[in-house]
Amino acid sequence: MAIRVAVDAMGGDHAPNEIVEGAVRALKSSEGRIHIQLCGPKKIIQSILDTYGPLSGIEILHAPQVIGMGDSPVAAVRSKRKSSIHVGLTHHKESYSDAFISAGNTGAIGAASLFVLGRLAGVFRPSIPTLFPTTDGLCTILDVGSNMDSRPEHLLQFAKMGSAYARIIMDIAQPRIGLLSVGEEPAKGNELVRSTHELLVNALELNFIGNIEGRDIFHKKADVVVCDGFVGNVILKLAESLMTALPEMIHQELQELKPDNATLDLIKTMLSGLARRFDPEHNGGGSPLLGVEGEVLIMHGSATAGAVEQCIILAAQIAKANLTSEIQRALVP
């Protein structure tokens, strides 16, 4: 049976057109393995869908209300029960969908997920991981922004949830967990990291390899990098900006070298391959909200059709592998 992915057609800077476009692409590339449920005002979505001609495997879940970037997340969750986010999550809750994805207001998606789906038993705080480029494929970093001012027990849970996520998504039996610090020695780092180190050493079910440093991330010393959401968000955005900074720096280097046109073309191709590595669109398209009672994935507000397509495929993979049950097992062994 096809995996049913509910898609918030109204969330994000390029909604609804790019979202629908991405959904149609995912539908086609999945060849019947994914069933799409577009959440949004029926008339609007239908008129866009009509431009693609007849399609099977895609339906509309009518949601007349829209949560804007200006809306207070918590207030919107309570007052806008007919929003695309609410309708999608409710369908997931009632098992009419296997996963829900959105490029809308992250705060609103998080609040609505907790409100509609609830928190997994024992979870202190849900966490958002990201897939990050290295010289040897992707690694997972978490948290990347949902948690400021974390406590050691939060980071321990991030490690457990990240390990479960990496097992599924990277297909590794025992992902190597690294704690991000400023030196390998357990005594190095800030108070949070020093206390977390101790907790991780005692979490015998984890493949904890110790502290890692900023320099180890790109060289994939760990499969899962654990840090608080402030640090994770800073390095994620720093790395993403390489997508635009590197071409500019390389262009500057080439000023004096004056390559001919054929060489320039080759370098451009090389550069776009390099930039793609740092483009979130090519690293899963979105990230799961770990720790809620369901499979919810959050995309960048700027998500384009390519990111939406990738995120739908990732959502289907996560739903099929039953990530939430895996996380529940990891947290309460």
CB of 4 to a copy of itself, least distance (A): 33
Q: Which amino acid is at 197?
A: H
CB of 248 to a copy of itself, least distance (A): 4
CB of 35 to a copy of itself, least distance (A): 35
With respect to a copy of itself, which residue has the nearer C-beta, 144 or 330? 144
CB of 236 to a copy of itself, least distance (A): 7
Q: What angle, 0 to 180 degrees and rounded to 10, lies between the N-to-C axes of helices 323-331 and 305-321?
A: 60
Q: Are strands 3-8 and 34-40 parallel, antiparallel or unpaired?
A: parallel
With respect to a copy of itself, which residue has the nearer C-beta, 201 or 245? 245
- Positions touching a copy of itself (CB under 8 A) are 133-135, 145, 148-149, 180-182, 189-191, 193, 213-219, 227-231, 233-242, 244-246, 248-250, 252-254, 257, 259, 262-263, 266-267, 269-270, 273-274, 277
Q: Are strands 99-102 and 296-298 parallel, antiparallel or unpaired?
A: parallel
CB of 254 to a copy of itself, least distance (A): 6
With respect to a copy of itself, which residue has the nearer C-beta, 82 or 276? 276
With respect to a copy of itself, which residue has the nearer C-beta, 245 or 332? 245
CB of 265 to a copy of itself, least distance (A): 10
As a whole number of angstroms, the distance between CA 204 and CA 127 comes to: 22
With respect to a copy of itself, which residue has the nearer C-beta, 57 or 107? 107
With respect to a copy of itself, which residue has the nearer C-beta, 21 or 228? 228
Asked if 19 and 9 touch (Cβ cutoff 8 Å), the reply is yes
CB of 273 to a copy of itself, least distance (A): 4
CB of 166 to a copy of itself, least distance (A): 20
With respect to a copy of itself, which residue has the nearer C-beta, 94 or 149? 149
Backbone torsions φ then ψ of 117, nearest 5 degrees: -90, -35
With respect to a copy of itself, which residue has the nearer C-beta, 182 or 332? 182
What are the Cα distances from residue 255, in Å, to 249, 260, 266? 10, 12, 16
Query: What is the residue whose two structure tokens read 């390990």?
Result: 163
